[in-house]
Each structure stands twice: as C-alpha cells, then as structure tokens.
Amino acid sequence: MAAKDREKKEKLILDGAIKLFNTKGYTATKMEDVAKQAKISKGLTYFYFKNKEDLYMAVTKKAFDELRAVFREVYKVKGRTGMEMLTELTGKYIDFVLENRMLNEAILNFMNLVQMYNKEELRSAIHPLILESEHFQKLLEIQHDCGKLGIQMVSLGIKDGSIRPELQAEITFYTIWSMLIGFERLSGPVDYEGKDLKIHLENWKPGFIKLMQEMLKGTIQASKPKVVQASLF
C-alpha cells in the first residue's frame, strides 16, 4: 500500500476517533463506530490500529504533535526576547487547550499514565494493551520535546536579561507549565454562572499573563536575602 494512501486512511480514522471521543466519550466509543465515522471497513481499521487502546494512544500522539507544533511555531521566530516568546506561548497554549479539549485531556491522561509507569508497583494497573501500543512507546520518547523548547525560551530570557538571572530554567518552565494546566482545570469553575467571585475568563487570561511576567521579571519577590537559585515567588 502506498505511503500516501496509508497516511490518508490513518488520518481519516484518527479524525473520526477524535470526533467520537469528543462527543460520545472514550468508553462509549467502539472501533466499529470509528470505522463507520471514517467510512472505512472495520477490518481495515483494525489493520491500522490493533485495538481501541492502540487507537487512543495514536490520538494522544497526534495531540502531542500538535502541541509541539505550537511550541515550535513560537520558538522559530527569532529576534525576540525570551520573555516575549513565553508571553506568546502562554496565550497560544491557553487557546490550544480551550479549543482542543479532547486532545488536551489525552495529553493529561498520558501524563498520569507516565506517573504510574515510573512506579513499578503501579505499572501493572495500566491496561496491558496500552503498554503494548507502539504509539505509547513513541510518546515516552517525545514527551519532553515541549519542555525542552520551553526551557530554551526561559534560558534565552535569562541570557538576554528579560528574565531575572537567578532563576533555574528547568524549574521555572515546568512551574509555568503546571500553572497553565491549572488555568485550564479551573476555567470551568471560574466561568460558571452564579459563582460568588469577581473574576471572568476574559480578564483572567491577561491577568494570568501579567502575573507570570512580573514573577519572571522579579517585580514580585519575598523580602528575604537573595539566593543563587530563587523561587518564583
């Protein structure tokens, strides 16, 4: 089978799976549903993806690839400070997770799987078909790609003076990433009508970005002696 034809068929299956996982949920979706959605025979669907677990890992790989593309798009534009890159990345990341909730859930689910995979006593709780999936193994290999790009942005900011020099690049970026994940997790409660909070999504996003900038620049600091590697707060 020609490579282009195979790629086209795989895309049809993945796009169909994403649509069904998003509308019906992973548990309620069956492989035959995906085949019907993609207008491909069930047998051919199984030819490309061994089972639903393998298909979900392929969808997760696609999610990581798309998120990595966001990071690369920001990083490839030269002539900017590290702070400017991180500011743009923050906005694009928030847009990505809010516009691609199913893909973001797949990414977060994989992060949970890796946490279990790292502990021998918990690894057996992962579905064996997930562990057998070639896409799961590929995900283990690429999972730090986004982090590496983010760390390079922070390092650039430290070097060009737009980010305070005493920060450690790796810790700083992963702290920012954890804050971004928290932003998405709390966006529902914040946006819920009837809440007794004076905050709305339209002003929280720019407020979040401004706070991050102030943290990285050093305008928010605890009143204590400087250390070699300071915390963000």
Task: Report the distance separating Cα 202 and Cα 180, nearest Å.
Answer: 16
Task: Report the distance separating Cα 121 and Cα 148, nearest Å.
Answer: 29
Determine contact, residues 97/179, Cβ cutoff 8 Å: no
pTM of the model: 0.87
CATH code matching the domain that covers 51-217, chosen among 3.30.460.80, 1.10.357.10, 2.10.240.10, 3.40.228.10: 1.10.357.10
Nearest to 31 by CA among 60, 55, 67, 11: 55
Task: Report the distance separating Cα 85 and Cα 77, nearest Å.
Answer: 9
Give the pLDDT of residue 220: 58
Cβ neighbours of residue 147 under 8 Å, at least 6 residues apart?
173, 174, 177
Domain positions in the chain: 1-49, 51-217
Q: pLDDT tens digit string along 111-152?
A: 999 999 999 999 999 999 999 999 999 999 999 999 999 999
Determine contact, residues 176/215, Cβ cutoff 8 Å: no
Give the pLDDT of residue 224: 47
CATH code matching the domain that covers 1-49, chosen among 1.10.10.10, 1.10.3720.10, 1.10.10.60, 1.10.1370.30: 1.10.10.60
Q: Do domains 1-49 and 51-217 have the same CATH topology?
A: no
Give the pLDDT of residue 205: 87
The backbone torsions φ and ψ at residue 35, rounded to the nearest 5 degrees and listed phi first, read -60, -45
Mean pLDDT of successive 10-residue stretches along the chain, which has 233 residues: 83 96 94 96 95 97 97 96 97 93 96 96 96 97 97 98 96 96 87 76 87 87 50 54
Find where tokens 């690369």 sit.
72
Strand ranges inside 99-224, DSSP E: none
The residue count of the chain comes to: 233
